[in-house]
Structure 1
Amino acid sequence: MSEDVRGGRHRHRSGRVAQVPASADPAGRRHHQRQGPWDAEHAPRDGRLRLDLGSVQLPIPRGARLKAEPDPSGPLRAVHVLVPEGRLTVSAFAAPRTGGLWPELVEELAAQLQSEGATIRRDRGEWGRELVARNGDTVARVVGVEGPRWMLRGVGTGPVQHALKLHGLLREMIRGTVVARSSDPLPVRSLLPLEVPEDVPPEFADSLVESMPTKPRQITRPEGPVIPMMLPQRAGAGTSPGRT
């Protein structure tokens, strides 16, 4: 399987973004500053409809359905976007000011998935290093992009025969995503908080409400490679500063 890799509301925060030394180019940072994904301070006024989940504002493909994944303790782990070709998930995490989180995570994830029986391939995409994991007839592509004090991770999982289109949809969603990093310092690798707005657009409301739990519960594991929604914490990983 080959793949071509060339290819609302906005919440604004006060404060300035620290300058990154020219020698440091965390995963896709210089690229995303020109073409997305976007930090909330530089969000484009493009008129696109985005679902505002607090820390991320996602452009949802037409005709998609949404599914919430809660943590057993109650908070949301993720909101999955279900399309005919598979499942798309875009999440944001707290990252060091100087970046460098994605190269660590992509190798950790590769080792974990390989130990679970998946076949691993490393690719280069428009933001840099990507990971492709295949298990049977299901394939998952994982993309990472680092911004100012955040890292965005996108995952597209679905049948092999739909991978080309699904992963194109994943890249399109990542390009249009806006990340709203709070002013609070957070542990590095922690998921930026997600919340479901009261005014969910009608075309997505029914499917999202149906999936919201009435009590904490686990989500059934899908077939194929399983990408953990939460990142493993490492001793001494430090704290990601908020906006100053």
Structure 2
Amino acid sequence: MFGRRRKKRDQETDRTAKEAPEPRRGAAGAVSFGNEIEPERPTAHAPKEADRHRANGPWDAGEDAPDLQRMDLGSIRLPVQQGSQIQVNLTKDAQGKQRIIGVTLVLGKTWLQVRPFAAPKTSGLWDERRAEILDQIAKEGGRSEEHEGTFGTEIKALLPVKGRTTEDGKQVAEPVRFIGVDGPRWLLHGVIRGEGAIRPEKMGEVEQIFAGIVVVRGDQPVPPGDMLTITVPKKVQEQMAEAAKTRAAQRAAGGSVNGDSPGGTASGPKKA
């Protein structure tokens, strides 16, 4: 019995030796330690569970994203289409200086605001942000529910519109979708208003735009939860300034202002 086992071991040893890879040649000649394995090709980022929700985008700058016409806004590259407009969402800090808090893409009667955030290396941020959004909606008197959508769990909500009531005195509410996708060390957050929040054909259209966004996380240290820097090209800045003057004149004359996104402060429509 022991002889048969020894013979089998000898046969396996001989077969293994024949199947062993050829010694690699280094700078000093052939080198082999007998236990080498072919190393895996390095990947830009370790796969994460949440990545299954972005198989078709949004994309990381280190990935092969589809070739689309995009506007470079620093931390994001935003797809643009004929007839669309890009608005830069601004707020004032404690020193009274304006800072960018997001970018809104206007496509017909659909508004998509996007905001890129830094996220931890080992876990996503969207679950935490969703809980904060649900709490804020409840505080504002809105209604919400979580829903499984194209990019995973999203929030569908009805938000009260401040200062607007119906003829019989009821509070006006608007439908809003909150979507989010965790990527490699980033979270891309989207807020959809208008037709893209309620009409199926428009929902698919705005989701396709969101999926085409490329996030440029960069190597700079940014605390998880902080927004990544959005930069505006000089040409767009000039258009923003001109558009701001036009809107100011329209408001002074008591007219309506075209291009303002609902529920947010926007500046500078940029037609693609």
1:209/1:150 CA distance change after superposition, 3 Å: farther
Distance apart, 1:160 and its partner CA: 8.7
1:10 equivalent in structure 2? none
Match of 2:85 among 41, 65, 70: 65
What's the Cα RMSD here?
3.0
Residues 31-85 of structure 1: CA distance to partner in whole angstroms, max 9, x if unpaired?
42x31111001132x4311011010001123211222112313221112112222
Tell me if the contact between 1:138 and 1:159 (Cα under 8 Å) persists in the aligned partners: no
Distance apart, 1:185 and its partner CA: 1.0
1:19 equivalent in structure 2? 46
Q: Quick one: distance in 1 between partners of 2:53 and 2:204?
A: 17
Q: Secondary structure at the match of 2:49?
A: coil
Distance apart, 1:130 and its partner CA: 0.3
Query: Superposition pairs for residues 1-244 of structure 1, below 5 Å?
Result: 17-20=44-47, 25-26=49-50, 29-32=51-54, 34-44=55-65, 46-72=66-92, 73-135=97-159, 136-158=172-194, 163-198=199-234, 206=239, 210-211=243-244
Tell me if the contact between 2:124 and 2:187 (Cα under 8 Å) persists in the aligned partners: no
Q: Which structure is higher in RCO with an 8 Å CA cutoff and minimum separation 6?
A: 1
1:64/1:55 CA distance change after superposition, 3 Å: same
Q: Quick one: distance in 1 between partners of 2:131 and 2:221?
A: 26
**One-letter amino acid of the structure 2 residue matched with residue 19 of structure 1:** A
Residues 79-123 of structure 1: CA distance to partner in whole angstroms, max 9, x if unpaired?
211222231112210001122311111111011112101110211
Distance apart, 1:159 and its partner CA: 5.8
List runs of 5+ in structure 1 lacking aligned partners: 1-14, 213-220, 228-244
List runs of 5+ in structure 2 lacking aligned partners: 1-41, 160-171, 246-259, 266-272
Q: Quick one: distance in 1 between partners of 2:99 and 2:197?
A: 34
1:222/1:119 CA distance change after superposition, 3 Å: farther
- Greater than 6 Å deviation, 4+ residue runs: none
Structure number having the greater helix percentage? 2
Distance apart, 1:222 and its partner CA: 7.0
Identical-pair percentage: 30
Tell me if the contact between 2:118 and 2:227 (Cα under 8 Å) persists in the aligned partners: yes
Q: Quick one: distance in 2 between partners of 1:84 and 1:222?
A: 11
Q: Secondary structure at the match of 2:98?
A: coil
**One-letter amino acid of the structure 1 residue matched with residue 219 of structure 2:** S
Name the TM-score, length of structure 2 as normaliser.
0.63
Structure number having the greater strand percentage? 2
Tell me if the contact between 1:65 and 1:207 (Cα under 8 Å) persists in the aligned partners: no
**One-letter amino acid of the structure 2 residue matched with residue 190 of structure 1:** D
User: Rg bigger for which structure?
Assistant: 2
Name the TM-score, length of structure 1 as normaliser.
0.69
